[in-house]
Amino acid sequence: MKKQKRLTLLGDILGCVFGILIFAVPFLFMLINALKDRKEANLLRLSLPTEWMWSNFKEVFSANNYQIITAFKNSIILTIGSLIVLIIVGSMAGYVLQRRSDRPVKIVDTLVMTGLMIPPAILPTIWIMQGLHIYKTMFGMIMVETALQIPFTIMLYKGFMNTIPVELEEAGYIDGCTRNNLFVKIIFPLLKPVTSTIIILNAVTIFNDFTNPLYFLPGNDNVTVQLTLYNFMGRYSSSYNLLFADVLLITIPMLILFLFFNKKIVDGMVAGAVKG
């Protein structure tokens, strides 16, 4: 028994060490080099700066006429708008796909799950968006992010729906609830754990998305936080201190969100898996 405890403790220690090496050291490397001057940062060494250059962050903020503020605004609008659509559509679709088992629903379920494997087609998507006059618009970008994340969202909702007893719905019908009221007042509040998981996972994915805004939302006024890094690579390719400062600024919001709610991610996903 003592030997097993020692092995468990050793495994925990090794896990913490590997976690620090994989995640903490790169973050510390970026932070230290972001606080150096240009010449010292370009050496790319993990050593303390001779002079702490906190002004690097101020310079990043003021670059391109405070473009990073516009980028944060666009990224927040894109993330929140996409999450609202994903939660509404995903929860309803997951509920129907889990509760019904007729042939049309099975076909729809297969099509939704196929979306997890098929990559997005860029040029046809741009052609369709141009035809709908939503290309280079925030609404169009929200629709693209929603379409990309909806299969995974529905899958999580559908799996978690197994944990909700059908008897609750039957009791609601007996009490005179309509189908809409039943879902809004009884079912949806019970989906809070998996909804928290979906919010966190999709928020991180959408907020950190680089490729899709580059293709579907071009323009200086539409820039997102990840595209500011792309712009910095072109303008400050030899100034690693400013590049690292920009990376830290666009990483910290989602890092804080993940650290505060990482337990909810595990709880939401495991609850659907255990009883599914």
- Quick one: average pLDDT of 266-276? 52
Domain that holds residue 156: 57-275
Asked if the model's pLDDT at residue 51 lies above 90, the reply is no
Task: Flag whether 34 is in a domain.
Answer: no
Task: Flag whether 132 is in a domain.
Answer: yes
Determine the Cα–Cα distance for residues 233 and 192; give it in Å rounded to an integer: 40
Task: Flag whether 10 is in a domain.
Answer: no
Task: Flag whether 46 is in a domain.
Answer: no
* Amino acid sitting at position 53: M
Task: Flag whether 18 is in a domain.
Answer: no
Mean pLDDT over each residue of the chain, to the nearest integer: 83
Predicted pLDDT at 148: 92
| Helices 122-131 and 138-161: angle between axes, nearest 10 degrees | 120
Q: Which residues contact 188 (CB under 8 A, 6 or more apart)?
A: 91
- Quick one: average pLDDT of 138-144? 95
Q: Which CATH number goes with the domain that contains 125?
A: 1.10.3720.10
Asked if the model's pLDDT at residue 275 lies above 60, the reply is no
pLDDT per residue as tens digits for the range 6-42? 767 777 777 777 777 777 788 888 888 888 888 888 8
**CA angle at residue 149 from 129 to 209, to 5 degrees?**
75
Asked if the model's pLDDT at residue 43 lies above 90, the reply is no
Asked if the model's pLDDT at residue 105 lies above 80, the reply is yes
Determine the Cα–Cα distance for residues 237 and 67; give it in Å rounded to an integer: 18
pLDDT per residue as tens digits for the range 71-84? 999 999 999 999 99
Q: How many domains would you assign to the chain?
A: 1
Task: Flag whether 188 is in a domain.
Answer: yes
8 A C-beta contact, residue 213 and residue 136: no
Task: Flag whether 227 is in a domain.
Answer: yes
* Amino acid sitting at position 62: S
The pTM of the full predicted model, rounded to 2 decimals, is: 0.81
* Amino acid sitting at position 28: L
Determine the Cα–Cα distance for residues 229 and 236; give it in Å rounded to an integer: 10
Predicted pLDDT at 274: 45
8 A C-beta contact, residue 135 and residue 124: no
Asked if the model's pLDDT at residue 103 lies above 60, the reply is yes
Task: Flag whether 83 is in a domain.
Answer: yes
